[in-house]
Structure 1
Amino acid sequence: FLLDMWGVMHDGEKPYNGVLEVIQKLKNYHQDNENKKKKKLIIVSNSSKRRSNSVKMLRKLGFNENDFDEIITSGEVAHHLLQYLSSSDISRNNNNNNAFCFGSGDEDEIYLNSCGWTLAENIESANLIVARGTFVIHQKQNENDDDNVMKNNGVVVDKKIDETLYWKTYQDVLDKAARKQIPMIVCNPDKIRPDIDKSPMPGTIGVAYEELLSKYHGGNKNNDDGDDNYDNSAFSTESLVLYLGKPFPSVYEIALSSISSSSDGDSSSDDIDKSRVVMVGDALETDVTGATVAGFDSIWVINDGIHYQDVNGCETVLQDFNQKSELTYAKGRQVSPTFVIPHFRW
């Protein structure tokens, strides 16, 4: 079982009713059913924070992190990649590990420093953009603009303090970056937060940036060639935006590898029977689409999470999504969950 967290297991503040029980039921299924194999439970979260943060969240909500065979977050995957890039030949030759950050406001600089990158003061000095949040922009302000400097500490544009300045800076930075073709890593492909306000998430930054790159330089966007496999494994002049997380393949490859490494005997991810893998999620665009592309079954949780306000009938929501598929990560694919359940309960 590949499990989403927010929208399936909890609402950001408390676990959903019955979830703690279902985790234990699945974990002990082999003990209660003779000749049944042990179930693997792997969390696959699009959180832009590191694994340790999700562990703290699980503990806070009453879960035991040891019940899960692996906990994979987009932020952890991005951290490993950034660490690799910081020590690569390209980085050493450029002698510039300056990353511009769209941040969460929660230890953004510590995150970058810990994987070998320096927080760039402005987009002109950066050779990489890291999109890990939509709350602050780490951009040194014009010293002549006294009010804004005072309100934003001169180096951080905080949306809560000055939303007008935030969006002005946002547009200006992306426009300059697109003209220079600076590569971007999106540490959380989610586009909206699964809360009442449906606040924008880092995926929207990646999409906006792709549109500007296409405007200034033409070329194909991700997967416009109709290939069933996302080709985001490396930066190129055609694809400068790298999304790490669902529905893109890297997290599923890591999940399969963790299944194989924790299985009895010697095996590899290629040996995993995908018909025995299921993704449990609340979001059609990330969870269900990702499972479809990866070749897994999917369980769509409809009365919790991102679609709960919209689901008067899941068929209508699914039909609307597929009609607009070209505008989503599905890129024109028609997706359909294998199973639909109201809540993740036993």
Structure 2
Amino acid sequence: MAKKNDKPRPTNPTMHDVARLAGVSQSTVSRVLSPSTSQVPISEETRQKILNAVQELGYQPNMTARSLRTQRSQMIAIMIGDISNAFYHPIVRAIQDVARARDYDVLISNSDHVYENERRFLDAVLRRPVDGIVMAPHRLSTEELDQFIIRSHIPVIALGAQVEHTLMDVVGGTSEPATYEAVTWLIQEKGHRRIGFISTTDDMPPGPARCNGYQRAMVEADLPIEPGFILKHAFTLEGGRHAMREYLAQPNPPTAIFGANALMAIGAISEAQTLGFRVPQDFAIMGFDDIPEATIIHPHLTTVVRNLPEIGVQLAEILFERIDGEVSGPGRFFQSKWVLVERESV
């Protein structure tokens, strides 16, 4: 039973209630709950008193009031091309982890690689202000992105191919050299001479850049790129399946096949096996980027990989440098590192 002089717990506790219970000023509570806004040191004892009071009262900071005070929304947005593609999952997870550690929420938008959806995303973040944006643009032009940044003053960082003369930071870079090295490895180390490449349509990065790397390796090795060796399909499992059926319909198909992404390569393996062929005995198949399915399918997929969680952390940290005003000026470029991982599909 509560004592007569006990005060009931507030239904909607405020910062004032937290300060009173902890025996400190409201400004001290504010400095503990919004550490990024102040450099004033707070003792660990005082900090713990405040956190205990917050927990006891069930206090939830008023984000609207904080936004008005700090001119920040405590929100960042992510736009990716295909949320079902496992390539993005560790990247988005890492971005969320960094954001949450800074008391930021994350909005995630899926564009389905459709231009209108990418435009709609830009319009949406103007209506619902965010402090920064991470995106993997596929259809928007550099000029459109620059115009958006100039108009909105929102920091933007992109995952993808190197974009020159832009106002946004970019992590990734062209994958053409990595593809060139991987195809050269197929030629020199594995002895293949007839190599096919499953690419995307020309307006769908990064397929064209990777296809350029394939072509350069074949030309330098003085190997023919026969009609039907380069096929263009969707960046999906089904795209890889369709391509494999096309190769099998050829009178003299390639002995090795390179998929522009892991999904395409896995689709090709699946279709070859469904039709009674063996991988790698009948066809060596490899892909680009690593996803969980690459080590679920048998044989496991040989592929060119990046450290995806590390890329996610890098994207988030670079974005917060812009948000916090630690960096200003022209957009910067950060080259990803690629590594060939040999498994059983080659």
Q: TM-score, normalised to structure 2's length?
A: 0.35
Q: TM-score, normalised to structure 1's length?
A: 0.35
